[in-house]
Structure 1
């Protein structure tokens, strides 16, 4: 695994910082609409699964979930039994979590396992973490069997900048994930420590979750009692990296912070958020990172796995208490009680038929770009 040592901001990060120091950006003629049916129609959900989630590169985990060689973790969130591994050479892989003998699920549960071999619980066929079938009981019962033909089924996998991506499509293009990786190297995402992870089951369309992280209009309102006071209302900007979006929201962004061209200085003044198409959000707070992976289950249900990444493992009780406080504020308070709850309330309202479209204003243009990208894939 490549652990980044670079701490200088990228040119793109600096450009957003300079815009914020100048007061942010806003479009004066940006009122647009999105049909309510894109959130409530089961047929639309099925079409998105076929056209987007079955073919696009998807983030499955941070590199920090498997920090050392010889680790693996089952993953069921995307509708098929998957297995993420890091082999003895440190290379990440995503396989179908299925034994090639009789189709038995190979690894159970959802926890990370540390072992050099994966052994099927049914007939004890065993595989290395790079997917090779290495042994089976009574090989004499399979005359002429070539073990090289019966390795685990691999899926295209790409690790860059501290994230592990995969796709169900063998022709998937990972060039944009690679470009994003340069930004993530700037703050050393690959070298972060995984402090906590939790999966939320949210009764809302997955796009309502993405919408919440594509605009800052709600921050002073929805988060008034939590993080709202830390930000300036309406001071934001953003750009695109392929189908993905990069946005920045300022606290006290002065020109001096921009001119410093130093990541720690910039990070204290600006919260960068990366909205990775189709359904991943990465938020860079002053001293930790939250990664949220969205896994749609139905038109009105989505699983959201939240990872909190910190610079290093807590070395004292005081440090542990500090990170626990941050985790409880963000995951349990801001995200679960505010953002995810707002998405559920939105799903309830849209499903009622009370309105046939939503209205987007000048501070919500990120949502417009996102829905345009979804529509283009369909």
Structure 2
């Protein structure tokens, strides 16, 4: 994992959003549009999304900070196949199928980080280096003529960029947009952050209802009235795109001249930048920490959301630890778990009732329109 060095500088695109926000924001749809309720409730639609989107698109699986050192690995089951994320002895990240090449046994169980130079199959003790190479097996005489070079772990296309680890199930996947986003993430040093906490939420809602919540600012002062809502100015937001991904900004009280000064401490104290990465990842840049949420659809009405909280450095004092614990509980359990995810589950219940045939998308919800248009295009 390579963290950027030197003084961090905002990108031209980030500064452009800041300037637009200081002028009152620019995100306004020209008219009301609609999304069919069936987009969230139809099992056949969900299957098509899995086959045509998630089976082909580059997907974020974790922040680089999940595996901060060489010779670390973690099992990952959220995307429907047993996966294994590793960082080999040279520091390179990989995503493999978590399957021994001998008899198909799962190599690593559970969701905790494992450390060491080898992964050993629990069945017959075939062992692999963290670059996927088969390095040992008992009783080699029982396998005459076997070439260990032919029995490495099955590697999926993998790219680490800007502090995120991406992969795809499609060998032809194009990671150019991941690299472009990585440039933005390097600007605020994502690759050098420390993973403070992570938690997976099991939400009884369609995955797109979760994405919808982070694609508009209309709900912020309403749904979050008792938590973070008072920190934001109602309706002051702006957004643009990086390929198929959205980059948005929501402002707080700040002078335009201070925003245009262009230094990160001022920008982050005044603006919440959010990246909605297609199809199902959200990254929120708060004043002093970052939340990464990876969505893993399980059914038309169920999604796992893994929330990672990234902070500048490990807490060095009890006071610092309490500060970050308070922030973690406010965002993960309170704002996200208790408000955003709860609203999504309530929405799923309402849509499943058949009470409405379509959702109405207003002028402050333009990001939702952009996102659903991309989903439709791929279907």
Shorter-chain TM-score above 0.5: yes
Q: 2:94 matched to which residue of 1? A: 93
Mapped to 1, the partners of 2:191 and 2:299 lie a distance apart of 32
Q: 2:278 matched to which residue of 1? A: 277
1:2 and 2:2 are equivalent in the alignment: yes
Mapped to 2, the partners of 1:282 and 1:258 lie a distance apart of 21
Give the CA deviation at 1:260: 1.5
Deviations 1:268-322 (A, max 9, x none): 1000000000000000000000000000000000000000000000000000000
Mapped to 1, the partners of 2:81 and 2:341 lie a distance apart of 25
Give the CA deviation at 1:28: 5.7
Mapped to 2, the partners of 1:58 and 1:288 lie a distance apart of 22
Q: Which moved more, 1:258-267 or 1:79-88?
A: 258-267
Consecutive unaligned residues of structure 1, counting only runs of 5 or more, are none
Deviations 1:20-76 (A, max 9, x none): 000001436221000000000000000000000000000000000000001000000
The 5 Å alignment of 1:177-326 reads 177-326=178-327
Q: TM-score, normalised by structure 1?
A: 0.99
Secondary structure at the aligned position of 1:290 is classed as strand
Consecutive unaligned residues of structure 2, counting only runs of 5 or more, are none
Deviations 1:102-131 (A, max 9, x none): 000011111000010000000000000000
The 5 Å alignment of 1:1-378 reads 1-5=1-5, 6-27=7-28, 29-378=30-379
Mapped to 2, the partners of 1:82 and 1:270 lie a distance apart of 36
Q: TM-score, normalised by structure 2?
A: 0.99
Give the CA deviation at 1:265: 1.2
Mapped to 2, the partners of 1:122 and 1:87 lie a distance apart of 23
Secondary structure at the aligned position of 1:93 is classed as strand
Give the CA deviation at 1:186: 0.8
Mapped to 2, the partners of 1:216 and 1:190 lie a distance apart of 27
Mapped to 1, the partners of 2:310 and 2:175 lie a distance apart of 24
Mapped to 2, the partners of 1:13 and 1:182 lie a distance apart of 11
Give the CA deviation at 1:242: 0.6
Give the CA deviation at 1:4: 1.2
Mapped to 1, the partners of 2:98 and 2:30 lie a distance apart of 50
Give the CA deviation at 1:263: 1.1
CA distance change for structure 1 residues 28 and 107 in 2, over 3 Å: closer, same or farther?
Answer: closer
Native 8 Å contact 1:59 1:163 kept in 2: yes
CA distance change for structure 1 residues 218 and 125 in 2, over 3 Å: closer, same or farther?
Answer: same
Mapped to 1, the partners of 2:54 and 2:369 lie a distance apart of 20
Native 8 Å contact 1:20 1:253 kept in 2: no
Mapped to 2, the partners of 1:30 and 1:64 lie a distance apart of 42
Secondary structure at the aligned position of 1:256 is classed as helix
Secondary structure at the aligned position of 1:314 is classed as coil
Deviations 1:328-349 (A, max 9, x none): 0000000001000000000000
Deviations 1:115-162 (A, max 9, x none): 100000000000000000000000000000000000000000000000
Native 8 Å contact 2:29 2:364 kept in 1: no
Secondary structure at the aligned position of 2:328 is classed as helix
Secondary structure at the aligned position of 1:131 is classed as coil
Give the CA deviation at 1:205: 0.1
Q: Which moved more, 1:331-340 or 1:253-262?
A: 253-262
Root-mean-square deviation (CA, aligned residues, Å) is 0.7
Mapped to 2, the partners of 1:60 and 1:230 lie a distance apart of 31
Mapped to 1, the partners of 2:110 and 2:353 lie a distance apart of 37
Number of residue pairs aligned between Structure 1 and Structure 2: 378
